[in-house]
Chain A
């Protein structure tokens, strides 16, 4: 522990390490560095085109929404492994209702959101009232929703509905000639809403309080039960919304859509500086986490010669680095 020599630098180092904003700043710095690297290396390939930056949001909007939901859960010290399955199920349900049953998207979207939120509610209920580990309950949720996908159909259903098509193709123009997709705009709106809820409402403060110390929160008289269940409901809702955005992005339902996406979401949250033990972190960090993960994919695309599995390895390495940073932070604070 005595790597830093000199008392004064050590004290300063301690203060810096204890700042809760540090991980977010590190992630933001990393993003800027990586972006600068890309800009430098792929200058002649148009990396600095504003649209490349906007594509980060277009290609990762669904991940952002899922990761925002996961942030709520992780802030309370829980975990939700059912994210990817709920997304896959939502794409399936939407595609099936729209294509095979001929329902209008306007009706299907609320149904899908409701199902996702209800699934989250049930999981939260079991986790809180029967004191079963969130890990195992949401694992069952993972199986359950993935299984439901297959029950609907084993084959993928492509969506040809004109409304979906129009929504997916709509460009929201931005100054400078670039554009965003509707899904990207919705995901940014969700981020803004989550930021407001977490930092400016009572519910948000309760989420942090429970993550900090559930026992104390209970003794303070906070409604722990309601908040914990609500958090999983939020996550289920976000997953379903993410599934809708994914449907727009990919325009089909497939029982194998978004397999393992929960890991990406958790990785984004961790890289964004939220403590897995709960109680500390910012949803804005999650945005940077998602952007960093997205940027890795973009860089690998621009490099051209690197294969897709490097994405996974790079994600793993990043995850490790950020968990180490977290570990040093919490370790210092406790002792």
Chain B
């Protein structure tokens, strides 16, 4: 195979542009942070910028994986942020009530309770969407509004702090010199990939997302698939909630997981999963989540004022979406003979060259 055809094959792979964007973002950091790629071993733990990107990005990766499956069924889940808050609040409450906060059994009980509630939240969303036929945005909006209230109800409006080494392992601890959360994320990723790509489940999810009615007529239990997707999303959000609360050893019903649903949706879109459903790419989602986390880190390290973080994200969202819109591509790139016509949404859009080409649909 010649080099050019190899290059063409690489660029046409749907993960090429997301990966390229991620690498570009990482490389941008080097001139600002010498030794950005260095990883040290200190006290038996690995330290370094890359490790912290993965560590702080793991809740987002988890939530985004759950979101990918929900979006693949043609839905969306706005309530993940609230579920993150609920699960963290509940786990912290259970742990803080125990006499011996370090007891492993007590912490495991707290985890089990929190994850069970997260599953119930997911099932509630799934029932509203699949059984009652409510639009997903609206159905999950209910829990998004009420869920924050429930989380504050659990914590009685306070920030519950816990003092438990066992509890802080999942979100901030280390195991085998690596962040423990990395293992949790890896487990969830491997499980979900195996379940969706090694069994027919992934195909069924895509069939339901492509056309729920048609897939029902073929004999797929589309409702059940949808409910399962929402439950899985709830579970992922629940684990993410445990991580976030464990990382700071506290539960804050108001601010835990605030806006994580937006970041998760963004990660899914960057990863090449279309919001219309019917297709999903878990690998792309993980890279999308890493891109967002790296973007946040980069903004901190290169000295761009942190307050522009949100503006930056907005520009990235809109550019990625414009690139995915076939109409936009036809209007702008299809007719180069004409002037480069339709106005771009934001003034900064042109400057942002790297993530521009996530055209994988």
- A residues with a Cβ closer than 8 A to B are 79, 122, 125-126, 129-133, 135-137, 139-144, 146-148, 150-151, 154, 255, 263, 266-267, 270, 276-277, 307-313, 315-317, 319-320, 323-324, 327, 331
Contacts and interface: CB of A to CB of B under 8 A. Distances in A.
A319 B141 contact: yes
Nearest to A312: B149
B313 A320 contact: no
B175 interface: no
B269 A324 contact: no
Interface of B: 76, 132-135, 137-139, 141-150, 152-153, 156-157, 253, 262, 265, 269, 275, 305, 307-315, 317-318, 321-322, 324-328, 331, 342-343, 345-346
B157 A144 contact: no
B133 A313 contact: no
Contact of B313 (A147, A255, A276): A147
B318 A277 contact: no
Contacts of A320: 142, 146
A129 B325 CA distance: 10
Nearest to A125: B343
A129 B344 CA distance: 12
A151 B308 contact: yes
The winner among A125, A130, A139, A150 for most chain B CB atoms within 10 A is A130
13 contacts: A130-B325, A135-B76, A135-B275, A139-B317, A140-B321, A147-B311, A147-B312, A148-B311, A150-B309, A151-B311, A266-B141, A312-B145, A312-B148
A147 B134 contact: no
Contact of B153 (A122, A136, A313): A313
A327 B133 contact: yes
Nearest to B326: A131
B314 A140 contact: yes
Contacts of A327: 132-134
A310 B322 contact: no
Identify whether the interface residues of A are mostly helix, strand, loop, or mixed.
helix
B321 A150 contact: no
A331 B133 CA distance: 9
Contacts of B157: 307-309
Contacts of A147: 307-314
Nearest to A126: B345
A151 B142 contact: no
Given A139-B262, A327-B132, A129 B317 contact: no
B146 A315 contact: yes
A136 B146 contact: no
B146 A317 contact: yes
A311 B153 CA distance: 11
Contact of A122 (B76, B144, B145, B345): B345
Contacts of A126: 318, 322, 345
Contacts of B253: 309
The winner among B135, B141, B325, B331 for most chain A CB atoms within 10 A is B141
A263 B152 CA distance: 18
A309 B134 contact: no
Nearest to A321: B142
Contacts of B346: 144
B194 to A, nearest CB: 30
A231 B91 CA distance: 45
A130 B318 CA distance: 11
B317 A143 contact: yes
A14 B320 CA distance: 46
A147 to B, nearest CB: 3
A331 B343 CA distance: 41
A139 B316 CA distance: 12
A144 B311 contact: yes
B359 to A, nearest CB: 14
Given A126-B345, A143-B262, A309-B152, A277 B308 contact: no
Given A136-B317, A147-B307, A310 B149 contact: yes
A37 B152 CA distance: 26
Nearest to A85: B310
Contacts of B327: 129-131
Nearest to B306: A150
Contacts of B318: 126, 137, 140
Contacts of B269: 136
Contacts of A130: 322, 325, 327-328, 331, 342
A323 B144 CA distance: 15
Contacts of A146: 310
Contact of B325 (A132, A144, A270): A132
